[in-house]
Structure 1
Amino acid sequence: MSQSVFLTGAAGFVGSGVMRRLVADGVSVKAAVRSGPDRVEDGVCTVRFDSFEAADWREHLVGVDSVVHCAARVHVMNDTETDPLAAFRKVNVEGTLHLARQAAEAGVRRFVFISSIKVNGEGTQPGKSYTADDHPEPSDPYGVSKMEAEQGLRELASHKAMEVVIIRPVLVYGPGVKANFLNMMRWLDKGIPLPFGAINNARSLVSLDNLVDLIATARVHPQAANQTFLVSDGEDLSTTQLLRRMAKALGKSARLLPVPSWMLRCAANLLGKRSLSQRLCGSLSVDIGKTRSLLQWTPPVSVDSALELAAKYYMEHEKQ
C-alpha cells in the first residue's frame, strides 16, 4: 500500500532530515514550505504558504496517510516581541491545531507532532531524569506554547478518528547544525581555551539521524498511537565530555580550563546569562525507556559516530 505524508517545516534542520528519510524510504511527500526561495528535495511536491495559522490545507491533505508536523516558532535567545507568549501561541498552538483539525476532517490516519523537552522543564536534578509521563512544568513561552499544542491535540484525538503521536526531543545536533553547537565546533577547531574542564553535569542530546529514525518509526508503529515519547541518543554527557569528544571528532585537542561550576554560574549570573549557565553547568537528562520498550526502538547511531558526521560537515561546509 502506497503511503503519502504531509510534512511541515521541510526547509528546517529537522524537517529537511525527515524529508530525506521519507524519500529514501519510498514515501510520497508533500512538503509545506513558506513562500520564498527555499528549495526542497527533488521529486517532492512543494506546498507554498504565507501564513501558517491561516493557510487552507484541505486540498493538500486529500489522500494523505499521515502528517509530520515539524514547523514551529522556535525558541530564541533575545526575543524582541512585546508579548512573546502570544507570538509563540499564534504559530505553535493556533497554527498546529488549525492544521490538525483540517487533517482530521480530511481523514488523515495519524498526526505526528514534534514538540520539545521544554514541556517537561528546563533541567533535572543529579541522578534523576525526565520521563514522558511526568507532569509538565514548562518555564518559558516556547515551552508553554508546545505544552498547550499537545493538550489541544490530545483533546482533538479524543473525539476524532485521527491518532496523535507526540515526540519531545532534547537538543538536536548533526550535519548543518547552527547556533551554539556550531559555535562550539568553531571554538574547538580554532583551539580557543574554554573554562569548561570541570563540569560534572549530565545532558541528554539527540543526533538528527536518531530523531529522524524515531519519527519514521512512530509514524507507522501501531503502539505509537496517542502516545508521548522522549528521545535521545541513549547516552548522557557532561559538558566537559561533550567538548572533548567533539574535539576528537574534529581531529583537535580540547583546551579546557578546570574552572569550578559554581564560579561559572556566578559569572554568568552577574552578566545576566543565567539561562546560558543552566545549559552549560546544569543537568537535563531524559529516560527513553518507554520509547525503547513500547516501540522496540534503539538509537541506531552512536554519539561518537554522530559527532563525526557533524564534524565532517563542519569541516567541508562551515569552517571559517
Structure 2
Amino acid sequence: MQRSILVTGASGFVGGALLERLQTDSGKSVIAVVRGDRHLPIPVSTVRIEAFSQQTQWQPHLANVDTVIHCAARVHVMNDTEADPLAVFRQVNVEGTLNFARQAAEAGVRRFIFISSIKVNGECTSPGQPYAADDMPAPADPYGVSKQEAEQGLRQMARTTGMEVVIIRPVLVYGPGVKANFLSMMRWLDKGAPLPFGAIDNRRSLVSIDNLVDLIVTCIDHPAAANQTFLVSDGEDLSTTALLSRMARALGKPARLIPIPSWILECGARMLGRKALSQRLCGSLQVNIEKTRTLLNWNPPVSVDDALAKTARHFRMNQAK
C-alpha cells in the first residue's frame, strides 16, 4: 500500500501552495489537515481538527503516513494583546507540535518536516553578515522563542525515537495571495502613491512561495536532509528601495519613491511607536543558503523578477473581481 504525506496548516498560505504542488507532481497520496470548516480549493483527503494542542489525538490520522509536513502554527502577531504572549505561543507551537511529533514517531512516521522561522536566528543582521543555518539561535520575541523551543524538542525526539526531523527556516514569504505588509505595499504602488522609501540601502532576503515549496518537496525524500536545519531564500537580497521599484515594474506602474534618508524614517517611526515596522523597512536581514545549496544540490528555481511578476498577475486578477 502506498504511504501518504500528511500536511498540517493546509488552508494557509504556505500549506495551500504546498498542497497544490504535491497534488500535481508528487505521485504520492496526500492528507490535508485543517482547523474547523476552513475551505480547501482542491479535492483532497481531509482531516478536520478543532484545536492544535497538547491534547489533540492524532493516532487515527497517522496510519500509513510516511512523511509529515508541519506548516500549522500560531503565527507572529504584530501588537499582540495577549497578557502572556509567550505562554500562548507555547501552547500551539511547542506543546502542540511536540505532542503531534511524539504520536507521529509512535505511528512509524519516517520523516517530520517542520516549517520554523528565521526569527529563531534573530531579527536583523549587519549588511554583508548573513545568518547561517548552524549559527547560535538568538530569538528576540515570543514567536521566535516558541519556534526555537519546538526545534529543540524535535531534535531530542529524533535522537530518542529514530524519526528523521528536517527543520526549514524561511525568511519573509511572498507570492500569489500574499497578505499583510506585502499586500499593503502592492496596493500603495498600484495607486501610484508617493512613498518615502527611495533612499534605503539595506539588504533583505525574501523567498517566493514557489521556491519555498520546491525546497520542502526536495526535503521529503532527500537522504541528506535527515536531521538537518536549512535556511531558504530566493538567493538574491534586495534593498527596500529595490524591492519597491521591481514590484512596481511587475505591476506596470511607476515607482514614485521619494529619497528620504533612513535615519529620518527611523526617528519618525520611533516617535509613532512603529519601531518594528521601521526595522522591517530600513533594517537588514540576510541569510546564507550555501548549506542548503551544497547539501541538497538545490538552487531556487524561480527568479525574483519572475516571482514578482506572478504575484502581480494574481493581484491584478483579484483586483478586477
| Letter paired with 2:145 | V
| Letter paired with 2:296 | L
> What CA deviation, in whole Å up to 9, does each residue of 1:173-225 have, x standing for no partner?
00000000000000000001000000000000000000000000011100000
Any conservation in 1 of the 2:11–2:38 contact (CA below 8 Å)? no
- Matching residue of 1:45: 45
Runs of at least 5 residues in structure 2 that lack an aligned partner in the other structure: none
> What CA deviation, in whole Å up to 9, does each residue of 1:56-105 have, x standing for no partner?
11111110010000000000112121110001000000111011000000
CA distance in 2 between counterparts of 1:202 and 1:94 reads 35
> What CA deviation, in whole Å up to 9, does each residue of 1:144-195 have, x standing for no partner?
0000000000000011121000000000000000000000000000001000
- Name whichever of 176-185 and 47-56 sits farther off: 47-56
| Letter paired with 2:161 | K
- Matching residue of 1:15: 15
**What's the offset of the Cα at 1:27?**
1.9
- Matching residue of 2:238: 237
Q: 1:281 to 1:111 in 2, by over 3 A?
A: same
- Matching residue of 1:24: 24
Please list, as runs of the form range in 1=range in 2, the aligned pairs for 1:1-320 lying within 5 A after superposition. Answer: 2-25=2-25, 26-42=27-43, 44-53=44-53, 54-318=55-319
Aligned with 1:286: secondary structure? coil
CA distance in 1 between counterparts of 2:169 and 2:41 reads 25
CA distance in 1 between counterparts of 2:187 and 2:282 reads 20
Any conservation in 1 of the 2:7–2:33 contact (CA below 8 Å)? yes
Aligned with 2:207: secondary structure? strand
Q: 1:76 to 1:319 in 2, by over 3 A?
A: farther
Aligned with 1:65: secondary structure? strand
CA distance in 1 between counterparts of 2:81 and 2:37 reads 23
TM-score w.r.t. length of structure 2: 0.98
CA distance in 2 between counterparts of 1:40 and 1:76 reads 26
- Name whichever of 29-38 and 106-115 sits farther off: 29-38
**What's the offset of the Cα at 1:318?**
3.9
Runs of at least 5 residues in structure 1 that lack an aligned partner in the other structure: none
Aligned with 1:283: secondary structure? coil
Any conservation in 2 of the 1:40–1:46 contact (CA below 8 Å)? no
> What CA deviation, in whole Å up to 9, does each residue of 1:109-150 have, x standing for no partner?
000000000000000011100000000000000000000000
**What's the offset of the Cα at 1:51?**
1.4
**What's the offset of the Cα at 1:319?**
5.9
Aligned with 2:177: secondary structure? coil
Q: CA RMSD in A?
A: 1.1
Q: Which runs of 4+ in 1 moved over 3 A?
A: none
**What's the offset of the Cα at 1:18?**
0.7
Q: 1:20 to 1:101 in 2, by over 3 A?
A: same
CA distance in 2 between counterparts of 1:268 and 1:306 reads 30
**What's the offset of the Cα at 1:37?**
3.9
CA distance in 1 between counterparts of 2:2 and 2:224 reads 21
Any conservation in 2 of the 1:10–1:40 contact (CA below 8 Å)? no
Any conservation in 2 of the 1:164–1:226 contact (CA below 8 Å)? yes
- Name whichever of 109-118 and 18-27 sits farther off: 18-27
**What's the offset of the Cα at 1:3?**
4.0
CA distance in 2 between counterparts of 1:130 and 1:161 reads 29
CA distance in 1 between counterparts of 2:276 and 2:36 reads 34
Q: Give the paired residue count.
A: 319
Aligned with 1:308: secondary structure? helix
